[in-house]
Structure 1
Amino acid sequence: MQQTADRFPLSPRLFSFNYGRDSSAQTGCSVLDAAFKRYFSILFPEFTKDEFFDAWSEPKSFVVTVSVKSRGCDGYPDEDSDESYNLGVGDGQAVLRSVSVWGALRGLESLSQLVYQDDYGSYFINKTEIVDFPRFAYRGLLLDSSRHYLPLHAILKTLGAFHPFTHIYTQSDVKRVIEHARMRGIRVVPEFDSPGHTQSWGRGSVPSGTFGPLDPTVDSTYQFMERLLKEVKIVFPDSYLHLGGDEVSFSCWQSNPNVRKFMEKMGFGKDFTKLESFYMESIMNLTAALNRTSIVWQDVFDYHERPRSRYVVEVWKQGCYLCEMRRVTKAGLKVVLAAPFYLDLPIPTHSWARYYNVRPLAFLVLEIWKSEHYQTELSKMTKAGHRVLLSAPWYINHISYGQDWRNSYAVQPQNFSGTEEQKKLVIGGEVAMWGEYVDATNLTPRLWPRACAAAERLWSNEQLTLNADLAFPRLKEFRCELLRRGIQAEPLFVGHCKHEYDGL
């Protein structure tokens, strides 16, 4: 990005968006037509034709011309979407060029953050040249809608929707969320965690008198899962499907004589991790038959070192997450990082630096706690050939007093000992907002601006994001921008914004 002190006045009356003559997207492109209207309101929230006053006696017109190379206005973003864009701002015009409509959306967001007001309320934009693209293709946010009721407005605002009385998502609710996300270039990846974490499934069915994880020894379990996954494929267009697979308690299986008999028959002995692997392999095969890519939590890799199926591993366990990533990528699997981005957990004062300061390529010494150090997991999983998502360091439901956004900013997803080919298998990371202590009352302020730190880490070039102190002014300004847009973002530190939050 290059920016000069040359600034140009903007008049909402004479500001417009249009399509370039060479653009494959033209009027009628639903994604960009809606984006033009949305960003005009974001840029000039106080403008009405009857009341707005131009401070400039001779305002000039300003035209934003958008040119998109490839077609795809009616599609959905996916893992191969090109989000790059070029943006040039000059006197009276801005030119935005991108390969896809999703890149155009990213460019429009950048444009919206370049416009500012002076002390008299006049709008300006500086001469700017931007060439931008994401460092990682997968940059996710997990919302836990099982532990607490999240109303539709809370989910749509953060980008699902519980019925306010029955706490059930209808297919029309889900379609609304997916379309809301599509118009903003956001993918919706569903997670149906099994065989554990299934208590809510039972509450939605006829009571059976039994508790615990799904029974992996009976055909009815797989018949049910096959029907469920087929329905999920119809409702959710994304090619990724998260199957969970974490934190399975074996006590229920251990107490079931039929399960023990099945394990003896299969030659599993008393190793219940082999039974879990048997179940997950079966479910991943069902998913592959539906032409979907499975995402699983790292527990599946920990207990199943040589899977027949290829899948994406999400690293969530705390500790040396880079060790975990080294272990996973060394196995040849792709990775999503979440471990350092758990925003819900209380942690020590001024711990926000931890989010910023992790370095992807500098890790040389490995810690030996395999189950706790996700750097080791990353190495092992990528060595096995799996693509990996890192989530372990980004549980942002973990909060603390002080500038805890620095914790998210410290994370570098590729900071583990492995080959360059292994590091390429780390496809990104995912911020997780688990819901034990989070619902609609505290979701937004707990999420923002902590998630912004992880977002910059996953989008921007590493060399431009080495210093949390240099990031602070950017994130502080963006937090003020969130307040201006009506997003209830918490303060980063002492200070104020020109546009403070007006309240609920």
Structure 2
Amino acid sequence: MEMNKLNVLHWHIVDDESFPFESETFPELSRKGSYDPQYHVYRDEDVNAILEYARQRAIRVVVEFDSPGHTWSWGLGQPGLLTPCYGPNGQPNGIFGPIDPTKPNNFKFIRNLFTEIASRFKDQYIHLGGDEVSFDCWATNPSIREFMEQHQYGNDYTRLESYYVQKLVNIVKQLNRSYVVWQEVFDHNVTLKSDTVVHVWIGNDTSSTWSTELSKVTEAGYQALLSSPWYLDLISYGPDWRKYYESEPYSFDGTDEQKRLILGGEAAVWAEYINGANMISRTFPRVNAVAERLWSSQRLAKANRAVGRFRTQACRMIKLGIRIQPIDGPGWCECDYALTD
């Protein structure tokens, strides 16, 4: 990362599929929620090693614990945390939805977990997630519906989401941490504090989608991060780094003051079809285009003018034994020999 001017690692450490973070406060989360509690977990020494490796290279690590959705693995180690879904017969159907915001004990759990998170990860920011929250399960649960009625929320489940997010944000603020949320939190009109950072990710297929979102977010006075045009896990034929290079974060309708609210951007490498065997080759050198775009003047906007620099950088990486994919089509590199075993 450091040799390609990437200075922040956004570590999406847990998700529906697995909870590999080994919590000292709640050890059952990884024991029951990880793929394998013996081999596929991040123990304290693993986390510390990653943080120290990053520190020595001037890389910040911003960890994400995404909730209230994407938490199926959490529920395996914390009974009562998730919302039981009900079927048409009015009985639980064995499926669980997002975290149940109506239970006070769940916020005691959240407070204790995030207290540990804040003590383990020292960066000022914690990413709180908040994306892709399905309201379907909440809508089937009698206790949730009763809570909605008591609070006069009607059938607007975004207000229940807002209730959860506000409590979570207050917990994080009390821990003296700043926070980032995915754009749906903003889109659903959740009441946010003025210092919220909104992470824009939807619309990687068209710049009009994310540029419109950036206009809305910054017009509302919030700071923003952009990752929509830079989803490296989405594969397309040919040198797709060119379109990454020519995606300009400031190309949205807004005042100079709005554009000063853009904190930066992020290249996303989601792991549905990526593992340790192909992560480096899938990421590099395509991510270099994102790095140069974010660190460079808007005047440097043409990918063709960057080809020479990218080829030179690719050769530097190959000489270090890093197995990256080609920059363009057929060709050669004077240091290909470095990859022979």
Both structures adopt the same fold (TM-score exceeding 0.5): yes
Deviation (angstroms), 1:490: 0.3
Deviation (angstroms), 1:421: 0.7
Larger radius of gyration: 1
Q: Partner of 1:386 in structure 2?
A: 222
Structure 1 residue 451 and structure 2 residue 287: aligned?
yes
Letter in 1 for 2:238: G
Deviation (angstroms), 1:205: 4.3
1:14-53 matched pairs, under 5 angstroms: none
Within 2, Cα distance between the matches of 1:499 and 1:384? 51
Deviation (angstroms), 1:391: 1.1
1:145-156 matched pairs, under 5 angstroms: 146=14
CA distance 1:237–1:297, shift in 2 (3 Å):
same
Deviation (angstroms), 1:503: 5.5
Structure 1 residue 186 and structure 2 residue 59: aligned?
yes
Within 1, Cα distance between the matches of 2:186 and 2:7? 21
Q: Partner of 1:90 in structure 2?
A: none
CA distance 1:386–1:322, shift in 2 (3 Å):
farther
Out of 431, 443, 461, the position equivalent to 2:267 is 431
Contact 2:7 2:58 survives alignment (8 Å)? no
Contact 2:11 2:64 survives alignment (8 Å)? no
Within 2, Cα distance between the matches of 1:206 and 1:233? 23
Deviation (angstroms), 1:195: 0.3
CA distance 1:320–1:274, shift in 2 (3 Å):
farther
Q: Partner of 1:477 in structure 2?
A: 312
Q: Partner of 1:124 in structure 2?
A: none
Bigger shift: residues 302-311 or 185-194: 302-311
Deviation (angstroms), 1:305: 5.8
Contact 1:322 1:374 survives alignment (8 Å)? yes
TM-score, normalised via structure 2 length? 0.84
Within 2, Cα distance between the matches of 1:430 and 1:225? 27
Task: List per-residue Cα deviations over 1:398-431 (Å, max 9, x = no partner).
Answer: 0112111112112111111111111000000111
Within 2, Cα distance between the matches of 1:244 and 1:408? 24
Within 1, Cα distance between the matches of 2:194 and 2:104? 21
Q: Partner of 2:42 in structure 1?
A: 169
Task: List per-residue Cα deviations over 1:198-219 (Å, max 9, x = no partner).
Answer: 1222234469865221001111
Out of 395, 399, 415, the position equivalent to 2:235 is 399
Q: Partner of 1:421 in structure 2?
A: 257
CA distance 1:266–1:320, shift in 2 (3 Å):
farther
Within 1, Cα distance between the matches of 2:224 and 2:284? 25
Q: Partner of 1:37 in structure 2?
A: none
Contact 1:190 1:242 survives alignment (8 Å)? yes
Within 2, Cα distance between the matches of 1:390 and 1:220? 35
Structure 1 residue 220 and structure 2 residue 220: aligned?
no
Contact 2:181 2:198 survives alignment (8 Å)? yes
Out of 127, 131, 145, the position equivalent to 1:246 is 131
Within 2, Cα distance between the matches of 1:485 and 1:413? 32
Structure 1 residue 203 and structure 2 residue 76: aligned?
yes
Task: List per-residue Cα deviations over 1:244-301 (Å, max 9, x = no partner).
Answer: 0000111110111100111111111101111111111111111111111110000000
Say which structure is richer in helix: 2
Within 1, Cα distance between the matches of 2:291 and 2:153? 43
1:328-339 matched pairs, under 5 angstroms: none
Say which structure is richer in strand: 1
Letter in 2 for 1:300: V
Task: Report how many residues are paired.
Answer: 311
Alignment gaps of 5+ in structure 2: 21-34, 82-93
Within 2, Cα distance between the matches of 1:449 and 1:163? 32
Letter in 2 for 1:241: I
Within 1, Cα distance between the matches of 2:9 and 2:315? 21
Within 2, Cα distance between the matches of 1:302 and 1:453? 29
Deviation (angstroms), 1:455: 0.5
Letter in 2 for 1:502: L
Letter in 1 for 2:114: L
Within 1, Cα distance between the matches of 2:36 and 2:322? 23
Letter in 2 for 1:228: L
Q: Per the alignment, in what secondary structure is the counterpart of residue 61 of structure 2?
A: coil
Within 2, Cα distance between the matches of 1:475 and 1:440? 24
Give the percent of matched residue pairs that are identical in Structure 1 and Structure 2.
44
CA distance 1:144–1:467, shift in 2 (3 Å):
same
Task: List per-residue Cα deviations over 1:347-379 (Å, max 9, x = no partner).
Answer: xxxxxxxxxxxxxxxxxxxxxxxxxx1111111
Within 2, Cα distance between the matches of 1:466 and 1:503? 36
CA RMSD of aligned residues (A): 2.6
Q: Partner of 1:492 in structure 2?
A: 327
Q: Partner of 1:377 in structure 2?
A: 213
CA distance 1:322–1:419, shift in 2 (3 Å):
farther
Contact 1:320 1:375 survives alignment (8 Å)? no
Alignment gaps of 5+ in structure 1: 1-104, 111-133, 152-161, 324-372
Within 2, Cα distance between the matches of 1:318 and 1:478? 30
Letter in 2 for 1:414: Y
Letter in 2 for 1:225: I
Within 1, Cα distance between the matches of 2:11 and 2:47? 14
Within 2, Cα distance between the matches of 1:226 and 1:412? 39
Structure 1 residue 461 and structure 2 residue 334: aligned?
no
Contact 1:139 1:458 survives alignment (8 Å)? no
Q: Partner of 1:267 in structure 2?
A: 152
Letter in 1 for 2:174: A
Contact 1:321 1:377 survives alignment (8 Å)? no
Within 2, Cα distance between the matches of 1:303 and 1:142? 24
TM-score, normalised via structure 1 length? 0.58
Q: Partner of 2:339 in structure 1?
A: 502
